[in-house]
Amino acid sequence: MYAPLNLELNMNPTALYERPKNHWKIKKLPEASEVKSFAKELNKNEVVTTLLLQRGISTAEEAKRFFKPSLTDLHDPFLMAGMERAVVRIETAISNGEKILVYGDYDVDGTTAVALFYTFLKTLNANCGFYIPDRYSEGYGISFMGIDFAKAESYSLIVALDCGIKSNDKVDYAKERNIDFIICDHHLPGDKIPDAVAVLDPKRADCNYPYKELCGCGIGFKLAQAISQKRNLGIETITPLLDLVAVAIAADIVPLTGENRVLANFGMQRINSNPRPGFKAMLQLEKFNKTISITDVVFILAPRINAAGRIEHGKFAVELLTATDDAIAIAAAAGVNKNNLDRRSLDKEITTQALAMVAGSAEMQTRKSTVVFKADWHKGVVGIVASRLIEKYYRPTIVLTESNGTATGSARSVKDFDVYEAIEACSSLLIQFGGHKYAAGLTMDIKNVAAFILQFEKEVAARITDEQLIPTIEYDMELPFEKIDKDFFAEIKQFGPFGPGNMSPVFLSRKVYDRGWARVVGEKHLKMDLESAGNSNRILPAIAFGKGDFFLSLANKNEIDVCYSIEENEYNGKVSLQLSVKDMRTE
């Protein structure tokens, strides 16, 4: 029998489930002869050419484009289905003085997309405004309330970004009120495309656009690019918007390959060389004064932008991102920073409760999935809590709460498992759902929650493999410590920006030991100075996040194997190499 929905009784938070140890798996290595030949052709070392070949880069021309992205590598936006119609309709609206409403979701991708396209339209002197739905009263995506607002304020065209691909009824509702829609989305379409003026989505079956993995903000940028081309404006007119695209790419966890890599590369350059006031204000609050990376975007900028919609309202994130005055930006940044502090507190509290629910139920721990529900949980943090539960239990996870009389929540998945498909198989129990392979949102009648838990577990159990339930660390190759120096890191750094599809290289070194200076920092993180047993001259500082409990294993200079990536540690103006340890073993 399944545990009750409000699992507040019979809870034993100390009865903690032990998930399997990480499985270490080496990526497929290219043939040695291919590595040698490619190294000679590129005049690079064999480690670099191995990493390139593992990423599917096998020619000098591909390597050149990879290491030196160019804006000329961007695809023609008019290759995207519906683009010509979208441009014509927007130009008509601008010419006729029509009011254009830029509409987007309340997460990072949505708010950056709205900020980008609203800013762009303003440069064209368009009569425009923006709208972000309220997470709690309206929910995700296009809402009837938003369309009613557009009608009341005499908007005749809505450009929806990062949402709308399944909003057939909302588009029809708007059309009845003489409001046109242009949809710019990157989520999977349903069986029928909405009857909008134009629907831009590379995932449409009839769209031959060469790159399918753009985020919502990226598609907004392609629409701006198309309008610029139509007006014979240079690419430099829209490159100031690329910082917003880079943040969206990082936050939405889309692959950092192809066109996304080009957009992220130039967007990150923009953030570091000439950040918009909103980004500058957030970084100042964090007292962040070094080069910002994609990882920094994920952990510093994105949570604050997200927090506005989670705690208060997503419109405040757009106001921050579109601020042109430093003083206004600082005030707006202070607001979203407070939202983020509130979010952290809620996240911690609800995660503790959710972990206790699972820990207190032996039956729940036997499942292949995790679904928890509590009516009074804060809707704004359930997606974060789902990710926390995966860190502990490593299973496809859904966290539900009550909102507007329904059960609503977020799903997160484990590597290589399509949680969207599993949810879709339960669609008869749902009011609505949407998302992609690794993250989704869903809403259902509260009376259906128990049946959904059963059905979702059945679908996951039928689809998931035992291997997918074991967290895996993939490493690129084994590497002796003596190869690691500043010149080597300079070569590795050229592989950035890093992210899904182009992760920072992970190496394995065997038989290393701590020199006796290991210490636990921040309650659970482990700082070490590692030395190779075979090379007493190579000592490398290392940090292992969340692995403080490994401290005793380092005693007496016990030899360990480590999987790690290499990074720069910037402290007090000094830059040094540091290993970021993913996992350690004593065997």
pLDDT for position 78 = 98
Angle (CA) 365-368-371 rounded to 5° is: 70
What is the side-by-side strand order in the sheet with 370-373? 370-373, 397-403, 406-412, 439-445, 432-435
pLDDT in tens for each of the 587 residues of the chain?
A: 223 333 332 333 333 345 568 999 999 999 999 999 999 999 999 999 999 999 999 999 999 999 999 999 999 999 999 999 999 999 999 999 999 999 999 999 999 999 999 999 999 999 999 999 999 899 889 999 999 999 999 999 999 999 999 999 999 999 999 999 999 999 989 899 999 999 999 999 999 999 999 999 999 999 999 999 999 999 999 999 999 999 999 999 899 999 999 999 999 999 999 999 999 999 999 999 888 999 999 999 999 999 999 999 999 999 999 999 999 999 999 999 999 999 999 999 999 999 999 999 888 989 999 999 999 999 999 999 999 999 999 999 999 999 989 999 999 999 999 999 999 999 999 999 988 888 999 999 999 999 999 999 999 999 999 999 999 999 999 999 999 999 999 999 999 999 889 999 999 999 999 988 888 888 789 999 999 877 667 889 999 998 888 888 887 788 899 999 999 987 777 888 999 999 999 86
> Which residue is associated with the tokens 């889309």?
254
pLDDT given for residue 20 in this prediction: 65
Is the whole-model pTM more than 0.75? yes
Q: What is the pLDDT of residue 512?
A: 92
Tell me the three state secondary structure of residue 281: helix
403: tokens are 């909102």
Contact criterion met (CB below 8 Å) for 268 and 249: no
Give the integer Cα–Cα distance in Å for 75 and 176.
36
Segments in 371-502 forming alpha helices (H): 382-393, 419-424, 449-463, 486-493
Domains defined for the chain, CATH in brackets: 31-64 (no CATH), 72-253 (3.90.1640.30), 360-469 (3.10.310.30), 472-587 (2.40.50.460)
Positive or negative, the Cα torsion across 499, 253, 19, 578? positive
Q: Residue 408 has what pLDDT?
A: 96
